[in-house]
Amino acid sequence: MMDSDVLALILLLLALSVALNLKLSLHLSKVVHSLSAAARAASMLPVGEPVPAFTGKPLAGGAPLTVGGDGQPAVLLFLSSACPKCRQKLPGIERLAPLARDAGVAIWLVSLEPAWRLRRFLQASSLAGSTLRVAATDYEMLNPVMSSPSYLFISQAGTLDARGMIGDDDWRSFSEQMDEVRIASEASA
């Protein structure tokens, strides 16, 4: 009788230790994930600092392009084909792209997704010609927290002017400026 009581106690202690181990492992996993997210956020390019040039392969084909260091202001867009909000932003971006080009601002959708997935994502838009596929290291340098739909505004001097989510105050200001450029060009025509 005593042997079965001891065995039951040992099994109970073993079950409790397994449960405690599982709880501690899950907690440790959350802590490590939050630390890595904080490290990624800390590695974000500071506003006002130079944005390093990077190279990407145009989705539409052709030779790799280097973006940055050429004196042209640019808007870098980060969208994900798996993001429903990103899909909703495409028509607005498509409307702004030619206005920005006319104003001398390059607009690039920057991605590391496979070309076939990007083509499917962009099939109803004209943005494939403004899309660059980049190496993971360049993407992580530009968008370390992997946020989408987001943007970086790069000045003519090559410094980071602003970053944020598409639709925020800075984005709306940019959109209004592009509309003003359109109105001014229509008035002068």
Delimit the domains of the chain by residue range.
1-42, 54-188
Per residue in 43-81, pLDDT tens? 567 778 888 888 899 988 888 887 877 888 999 999 999
Instruction: State which H helix or E strand residue 176 sits in.
Output: helix 169-188
Provide the 10 A C-beta neighbour count for residue 175: 18
Q: Domain 54-188: state its class.
A: alpha beta
Q: What is the pLDDT of residue 115?
A: 92
Q: What is the pLDDT of residue 132?
A: 92
Alpha-helical segments (H) within 43-166: 84-102, 115-122, 136-142
Find tokens 């099994």 and name the residue.
11
Give the predicted TM-score (pTM) of the model: 0.75
- Number of Cα atoms under 13 Å in the Cβ half of residue 91: 1
Per residue in 23-38, pLDDT tens? 878 887 776 666 555 5
